[in-house]
């Protein structure tokens, strides 16, 4: 691999990582208002179905990218962090909470993803346990988060639309 293509690959990987981070942390601020506004023009059931399906695909893609890129990141930027985490994993204070996170429970992962977000839960689980998460768990967690997200913002849009009609 030539130095130019290696640099280009690193820049592309960094850009994708930035997009995944923006999606993981700012989806409520970016996509939520879009879904609320769309209820004015699109029937709620169609919006909900399309949003839930699209968000599931986006979540799966982001989680899979995170899983694939994790080892490269740990070898590079995360080497010092990984050493500290290895020590913390053995510490008395974090032994049990990290055990709960890394238990490999689909139910706990799904509940956490439904509340926080699939991408964030995958990242925290990888940080805590440093072993890959199964595709089935990623799929279920992505569906749980996407359906809840779509339902919340579609419901808010329908409520606002109905309030405007009443007034």
Instruction: Kindly state the greatest CA–CA separation across the chain.
Output: 65
Other beta carbons within 10 Å of 70? 18
Q: What is the pLDDT of residue 46?
A: 97
b/e 37-65 (16+ beta carbons within 10 angstroms → b): ebbeebebeebbeebbeebbebbbebbeb
Q: What is the pLDDT of residue 141?
A: 94
Q: What is the pLDDT of residue 4?
A: 74
Place of tokens 């694939």: 68
Structure tokens at 12: 């592309």
- C-alpha R_g of the chain: 19
> What are the angstrom distances between the C-alpha of 65 and each of 43, 69, 76, 123?
33, 6, 17, 11
Three-state DSSP at 90 gives: helix
Q: What is the pLDDT of residue 104?
A: 74
Close Cβ partners of 148 (under 8 Å, ≥ 6 residues apart): 114
pLDDT of the chain along its 167 residues, tens only?
Answer: 677 777 887 788 888 888 998 999 899 999 999 999 999 899 999 999 999 999 999 999 999 999 988 877 767 666 677 777 777 767 777 667 666 666 778 888 888 889 889 999 888 888 877 678 899 999 999 999 999 999 999 999 999 999 999 98
What are the structural domain ranges in the chain?
3-166
């Amino acid at each position: 691999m030539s130095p130019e293509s290696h640099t280009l690959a690193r820049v592309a990987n960094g850009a994708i990582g930035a997009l995944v981070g923006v999606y993981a942390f700012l989806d409520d601020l970016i996509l939520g208002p879009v879904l609320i506004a769309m209820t004015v023009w699109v029937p709620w059931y169609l919006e909900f179905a399309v949003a839930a399906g699209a968000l599931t695909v986006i979540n799966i893609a982001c989680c899979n990218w995170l899983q694939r890129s994790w080892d490269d990141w740990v070898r590079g930027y995360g080497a010092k962090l990984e050493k500290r985490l290895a020590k913390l994993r053995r510490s008395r204070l974090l032994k049990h909470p990290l055990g709960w996170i890394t238990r490999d429970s689909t139910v706990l992962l799904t509940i956490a993803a439904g509340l926080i977000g699939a991408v964030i839960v995958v990242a925290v689980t990888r940080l805590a346990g440093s072993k890959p998460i199964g595709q089935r768990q990623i799929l279920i967690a992505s569906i749980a988060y996407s359906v809840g997200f779509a339902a919340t913002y579609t419901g808010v849009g329908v409520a606002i639309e109905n309030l405007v009609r009443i007034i």
